[in-house]
């Protein structure tokens, strides 16, 4: 005879543990994403000499200048 329990890890308890784990991961990633967004929200930059930027170029980053 099998031991069938509603509170086994493959029952309601396992479902609740998985749900809480997924929601906590979602909360952590949301907080980290909002922190990164707020850190860069006031990081303005301008592009200097945009006519000289080539499509395939390794120095395109040098045309970006941060405004502070």
- Identify whether 6 is part of a domain: no
Q: Name the DSSP letter for residue 34.
A: H
- Identify whether 5 is part of a domain: no
At residue 8, does pLDDT exceed 70? no
- Identify whether 1 is part of a domain: no
- Domain span at residue 17? 12-66
How far is residue 20's CA from residue 7's CA, in Å, rounded to a whole number? 16
Mean pLDDT of the chain: 84
Could you give the number of structural domains in the chain? 1
pLDDT (0 to 100) of residue 1: 57
- Identify whether 55 is part of a domain: yes
- Identify whether 52 is part of a domain: yes
- Identify whether 3 is part of a domain: no
Q: Which helix (H) or strand (E) holds 27?
A: helix 12-40
E strand segments, the chain: 45-47, 64-66
Phi, psi of 31 (to 5 degrees): -65, -40
Helix (H, G, I), strand (E, B) or coil at 1: coil
pLDDT (0 to 100) of residue 45: 81
- Identify whether 24 is part of a domain: yes
């Amino acid at each position: 005879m099998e031991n069938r329990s509603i509170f086994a890890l493959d029952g309601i308890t396992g479902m609740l543990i998985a749900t809480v784990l997924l929601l906590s991961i979602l909360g952590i990633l949301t907080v980290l994403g909002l922190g990164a967004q707020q850190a860069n929200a006031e990081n303005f930059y301008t592009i200097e000499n945009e006519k000289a930027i080539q499509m395939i170029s390794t120095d395109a980053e040098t045309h970006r200048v941060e405004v502070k």
